[in-house]
Amino acid sequence: MSKTILVTGGTGYIGSHTCVELIQAGYEVVIVDNLYNSSKAVLKRIETITGVLPKFYQVDILDREGLEKVFEENHLDAVIHFAGYKAVGESVKIPLTYYQNNIAGSLNLYETMKKHHVYHLVFSSSATVYGDPASVPIRENFPLSTTNPYGTTKLYNEQILKDLAHSDENFSIVLLRYFNPIGAHKSGLIGEVPNGIPNNLLPYIAQVAIGKREYLSVFGNDYDTVDGTGVRDYIHVVDLAKGHLKALEYADKRKGIDAVNLGTGHGYSVLQVKDAFAKASGKEIAYKIVERRPGDIAECYADTSKAKEVLGWQAEYDIETMCQDSWRFQSQNPDGIND
Ligand code: NAD
Ligand code: WQD
């Protein structure tokens, strides 16, 4: 019998791609999302890609009764927990809102899971929990620290889940620390829809390419990197989504809690990504070098050996494909995902 997976935040960017991979692998999917940062139209897009319209609850994870209903009405085998706020700069301005949503909401979910004896969980963590790492590539056993409230909500969730796993041996939890997800499904039907002015590099470049923004501001060219601009480990969102299926299998095989990096292991600079995107889109990307962005680090990329070893997973798509797929989504959906 096929397994049923609850996907919180399942209409969002990474969640929607993961739902597609889950459905195509034969899982039943139940989505919980309050549509704060996504649209109901994503559900039909998932149906167009997979032939299956996922079961959907418009529920806020802060709504304990709403969550109860979902757990009562479905026999759930595992949860993948994406729901949360993710804008670093905003989290500095409204930290309590971030703690409320990302911590209190997650606590509701974990309590409801325990009550209903649903013990398998994959949690969306982030490379941000490594703070400013002493060296690269980053291994899972590096010291953890954060530089902003968003990152702290990820670190606290990790700690809460460690305590939970230690208190109850039924739990089997995988913390996935994502590096920089970009790209989109090859159909061009689902992808990242930034809210307002994009904070992240790829959606910003894509909007310059399509003519919505005049130029890219490159935040500093005096870092100790290949060309002075910041280096990151960009990973295709479909590779990332597949990593979640491997994490579910890993959770089936063992108990306790473990953290795994999901990255490619390769770093690209801002200017290298800009050039790759210009090539993929055939558009010139105007840019200006500006001041460093406060809180940014020079280099961040993953040591991927643990993911290979424990999940049997590694990223497949290269930076050219990531840019081509981002561009396809951007050009097919200039106004986002609507009905
Ligand atoms: P997203 O905003 O596209 O998706 C998150 C979804 O959660 C949205 O659909 C939103 O409506 C929903 N949501 C938010 N609060 C909710 C609540 N209280 N109740 C129900 N639904 C709620 O973001 P994403 O890029 O897909 O990120 C998914 C997860 O991965 C997040 O937890 C994020 O912090 C984490 N993550 C993202 C990145 C990245 O760069 N995108 C990197 C590392 C980690
Ligand atoms: C990448 C590089 C910028 C925009 C953030 C979060 C992290 C994770 C992923 C959730 C950096 C440069 C960017 C621009 C630029 N999210 N840049 N001009 O900062 O690595 O990570 O998203 O967990 O927690 O911090 O990603 O895409 O913002 O920046 O020059 O307009 O591009 O300085 O070097 P970042 P990013």
Write out the chain in H/E/C secondary structure.
CCCEEEEECCCCHHHHHHHHHHHHCCCEEEEECCCCCCCCHHHHHHHHHHCCCCEEECCCCCCHHHHHHHHHHCCCCEEEECCCCCCHHHHHHCHHHHHHHHHHHHHHHHHHHHHCCCCEEEEEEEHHHECCCCCCCECCCCCCECCCHHHHHHHHHHHHHHHHHHHCCCCEEEEEEECEEECCCCCCCCCCCCCCCCCCHHHHHHHHHCCCCCCEEEECCCCCCCCCCCEECEEEHHHHHHHHHHHHHHHHHCCEEEEEEECCCCCEEHHHHHHHHHHHHCCCCCEEEECCCCCCCCEECECCHHHHHHHCCCCCCCHHHHHHHHHHHHHHCCCCCCC
Pocket test for ligand 1, best of 7, 11, 13, 177 (most atoms within 8 A of CB): 13
From the CA of 177, which ligand is nearest?
1
Share of the chain above pLDDT 90, in %: 99
Find out whether the beta carbon of 199 lies less than 6 Å from any atom of ligand 2.
yes
202 found inside a domain: no
The catalytic position among 150, 223, 234, 317 is 150
Answer yes or no: is the C-beta of 219 below 6 A from any ligand 2 atom.
yes
| 110 flagged as catalytic | no
- Percentage of the chain lying above the pLDDT 70 cut: 100
Q: What is the pLDDT of residues 216-268, one digit of tens each?
A: 999 999 999 999 999 999 999 999 999 999 999 999 999 999 999 999 999 99
**Residue 22 domain boundaries:** 4-183+235-264+305-316
The answer, yes or no, to whether residue 339 has pLDDT greater than 90, is: no
Identify whether 128 is part of a domain: yes
CATH number at residue 175: 3.40.50.720
Q: 141-164 pLDDT, tens per residue?
A: 999 999 999 999 999 999 999 999
196 within a domain of the structure (yes/no):
no
Q: Establish if 124 belongs to a structural domain.
A: yes
With respect to residue 288, please indicate whether it lies within any of the assigned structural domains: no
Give per-residue pLDDT as tens, 15-68.
999 999 999 999 999 999 999 999 999 999 999 999 999 999 999 999 999 999
Residue 326 lies in a domain: no
Residue 47 belongs to some domain of the structure: yes
- Give me the pLDDT at residue 195, please: 87
**pLDDT per position as a tens digit, 69-113:** 999 999 999 999 999 999 999 999 999 999 999 999 999 999 999
Distances from the Cα of 137 to the Cαs of 77, 159, 232, 292, in angstroms?
Answer: 34, 23, 11, 22
Find the 193 Cα to ligand 1 centroid distance in Å. Answer: 12
Hey, whose CA ends up nearest to atom 22 of ligand 1?
83
Looking at the structure of the chain, the number of domains it has is 1
Q: For residue 1, what pLDDT is reported?
A: 80
- Is the CB–ligand 2 distance for residue 268 below 6 Å? no
Q: 14 in a domain, yes or no? A: yes
Q: Give the per-residue pLDDT at 198.
A: 96
